[in-house]
Chains A and B, each alone.
Chain A
Amino acid sequence: SAVISQKPSRDICQRGTSLTIQCQVDSQVTMMFWYRQQPGQSLTLIATANQGSEATYESGFVIDKFPISRPNLTFSTLTVSNMSPEDSSIYLCSVRGTGGTEAFFGQGTRLTVV
């Protein structure tokens, strides 16, 4: 299993500003995943973060808007840049357990942009 600590749990931000979300895992993992969950909707993968290389972004998401850092095997950050109200969502960090197929999730960051 894996325990994920995600910070902050929620924030209210002014439009045009940026917010950095942190994800800390209690074990070393190769890949970390960042998802967005817009209000009342499903989870959409933003990007996959590998340690030592640039993140791989899904269609519709770009590095300038969602820069990601992955400095080591237990930590990653996602920044939501130049925010607008449309960025109001829950952002979740996820990892795969070692040798398993189960995905573990952080508790998410509820972001509201005003």
Chain B
Amino acid sequence: AQTVTQSQPEMSVQEAETVTLSCTYDTSENNYYLFWYKQPPSRQMILVIRQEAYKQQNATENRFSVNFQKAAKSFSLKISDSQLGDTAMYFCAFMTFGNEKLTFGTGTRLTIIP
């Protein structure tokens, strides 16, 4: 079974700063996907970024980027130039290739301070 661990229950940073959220996972699979989802107070789960395990290049989406270390089973999210709208719960998630079920981490509550 796969497990996803987020060791930072809460984080806060000043607006415009950079923040990194940590995620580690455990799996015996070789082909899989990793995701970061954002859940603002509205409860709507929103995909922030995804990474295919077979790709060595780290994914980027505007201000969001990941540091994917496959050997270390680490998948951190970096948010640059943080904005007030980034305030939310962030969940790291894992999906095995060919299996559509997502396994979520425990989440990190991120607060951006004006």
A→B interface (CB under 8 Å): 31, 33, 41-45, 48, 90, 92, 94, 96, 101-103, 105, 107-108, 110
A selection of 28 A-B contacts at a CB cut-off of 8 Å is A33-B101, A33-B102, A41-B106, A41-B107, A42-B91, A42-B104, A42-B106, A43-B91, A43-B102, A43-B104, A44-B104, A45-B103, A48-B100, A92-B43, A96-B100, A101-B50, A101-B95, A102-B35, A102-B47, A102-B50, A103-B45, A103-B100, A105-B44, A107-B42, A107-B43, A107-B44, A108-B43, A110-B43
Task: Tell me how far the C-beta of B22 lies from the nearest C-beta in chain A, rounded to whole angstroms.
Answer: 15
In the bound complex, residues from chain A placing their C-beta under 8 Å from that of B100 are: 31, 33, 48, 96, 103
Shortest beta-carbon distance from A1 to chain B in Å: 10
Beyond the given A33-B101, A105-B44, A108-B44, could you list 14 further A-B residue pairs with CB under 8 A, ordered by the A residue number? Answer: A42-B107, A43-B45, A43-B91, A43-B102, A45-B101, A45-B102, A90-B43, A92-B45, A94-B45, A94-B102, A96-B100, A101-B33, A102-B35, A103-B100
Which B residue's beta carbon lies closest to that of A92? B45
Beta-carbon contact of B91 and A103 below 8 Å = no
Partner of B45, one of A31, A41, A105: A105
Contact B101 A48 (CB under 8 A): yes
Measured CA separation A48–B47 after assembly (Å): 20
B109 closest partner in A (C-beta): A40
